[in-house]
Amino acid sequence: MRAHQNLVFTTAVRIVANDAQAEDIAQEVFIKAYENFDSLRASETAGAWLRTVARNLSLNYATRYRRRWRFFSEVHDRNEDDDLDFEATLEGVESPSSDAAQFRQSEVIEEALRALPEKQRLPLVLFHFEDMSYEEIAQHLGVSLAKVKVDIHRARAALARVLARHGITPDEVTPS
Amino acid sequence: MSHHDADRQLEEFVHRVLRNQPMRQAPAQLADRVLARIEQRTAKAWWQAGFNAWPMPARVLFVTISIAICALALEVSATLFEVLSAQVPLTLARSIALWQAMSTAVESLAKGIPVQWIYAVGGIIAALYASFFALSAAAYRTLYQNR
């Protein structure tokens, strides 16, 4: 369990963007793993299984929560305001300039992701971290394909602006 | 550079940045929480767990007994109905008469109310419901969403 707990927690926290909820989801994932212990013990793909379960549970949570509050939070289109709010929340984050530059860079990116509006952050995370296609994201979130593409594009543009302000440019990032 | 190329570059840049992110550290107490929960579950008797976790013989027995109880309940109620319908008790007859009297009274009262009043009351109820809904949405946006 300890070998996979960071993977499971990271998957959950990136989707739900809340540490406490991600911890609850991680707990549920490991209890499911315990229930399927006999088949997982010998499996070489236990890590992938855990990640898939973590992703599905997190998505269930995120979409259920989203539906519940959709009326209250998404009545008006906040695209322009969202971008302004998003950049305003990051003004206090310092640029990486010391030995801890790498750590700070990660922090800046995490902070930037969290500050994105929910409707942009979730599809972006699913696309880039979970390798889901636009079509799969649209299906899971119950929105149109065009909206998914627009939201992801806006999220990327907003992220890139903040990263550029903190000195993170395409030249500085090496391919993974 | 075309618009399409710029989008492609942006996508690749963001992908590289995000994929280079290190994994988050799971909370230290996560493992202990999971183990405590598992111990709690294993300490429970089998019949306190969900139906899916019951042993197969227990499940079959439970379903059989449930079907038998349902069949018995249907049989008993049918028999009771037959017996009771043969001789309607006095209290039941009185209850029916009371119900009919009340229905007649309500009906004659409803006929006396102008239809405009009914529409007005309906409109007020709808307006109150909409106000309550709007108030809830405003309270959510003010108190919760911006936290």
Regions of chain A with pLDDT less than 50: 74-81, 84, 89-90, 92-97, 176
Same domain, A97 and A33: no
Strand ranges, E, within chain B: none
pLDDT in tens, A122-162: 999 999 999 999 999 999 888 899 999 999 999 999 999 98
pLDDT at A136: 93
Q: Which is nearest to A125 in space by CA: A58, A174, A29, A30?
A: A58
Residue contact A159–B17, C-beta within 8 A: yes
Q: Which is nearest to A162 in space by CA: A101, A90, A106?
A: A90
Same domain, A28 and A108: no
pLDDT at B81: 83
pLDDT at A165: 85
Q: For all residues of chain B together, what is the average pLDDT? A: 87
State whether residue A143 sits within 8 Å of chain B by CB. no
Question: Under a CB-based contact definition with an 8 Å cutoff, are residues A150 and A139 in contact?
Answer: no
The letter for the amino acid at A117 is P
Q: For all residues of chain A together, what is the average pLDDT? A: 79
pLDDT in tens, B10-57: 899 999 989 988 888 889 889 899 999 888 888 888 888 888 888 899
Q: Where are the domains of chain B?
A: 56-90, 110-147
pLDDT at B96: 84
Using a CB-CB distance cutoff of 8 angstroms, which residues of chain A are in contact with residue B26?
5-6, 8-10, 23, 26
Window 37-66 of A, Cβ < 8 Å to B: none
Cβ-based neighbours of A137, under 8 Å, separated by 6 or more: A123, A126, A127, A148, A152
Using a CB-CB distance cutoff of 8 angstroms, which residues of chain A are in contact with residue B38?
31, 34
Give the minimum alpha-carbon distance from A10 to chain B in angstroms, rounded to a whole number. 5
Using a CB-CB distance cutoff of 8 angstroms, which residues of chain A are in contact with residue B1?
none
Chain B residues bordering chain A (beta-carbon distance below 8 Å): 7, 9-11, 13-27, 30-31, 33-34, 37-38, 41, 136-137, 140-141, 145
Using a CB-CB distance cutoff of 8 angstroms, which residues of chain B are in contact with residue A13?
24
Candidates A5, A71, A174; nearest CB to B26: A5
State whether residue A34 sits within 8 Å of chain B by CB. yes
Candidates B14, B30, B38; nearest CB to A34: B38
- Single out the residue in A14, A40, A73 at which a domain terminates: A73
CB count, 10 Å around CB of A101?
A: 12
Same domain, A60 and A136: no
CATH number (domain holding residue A148): 1.10.10.10
Tell me the C-alpha distance between A49 and B75, whole Å: 50
Same domain, A68 and A88: no
Residue contact B14–A159, C-beta within 8 A: yes
pLDDT bin (cut points 50, 70, 90) of residue B141 is confident
State whether residue A150 sits within 8 Å of chain B by CB. no
Print the domain residue range for A137: 76-176
Q: How many domains does chain A have?
A: 2
DSSP string, chain A: -TTTHHHHHHHHHHHH--HHHHHHHHHHHHHHHHHTHHHHHT-TTHHHHHHHHHHHHHHHHHHHHHHHHHHHHSSS--HHHHHHHHHHHTTTSPPP-STTHHHHHHHHHHHHHHHS-HHHHHHHHHHHTS---HHHHHHHHT--HHHHHHHHHHHHHHHHHHHHHTT--GGGPPP-
Question: Under a CB-based contact definition with an 8 Å cutoff, are residues B26 and A5 in contact?
Answer: yes
Which tokens is A55 given?
Answer: 């992703």
pLDDT at A96: 46
Give the minimum alpha-carbon distance from A173 to chain B in angstroms, rounded to a whole number. 6
Q: Is the ipTM of this complex over 0.90?
A: no
pLDDT in tens, B77-115: 999 888 877 766 667 778 888 999 999 998 888 888 888
pLDDT at A84: 47
Same domain, A43 and A118: no
Same domain, A49 and A132: no
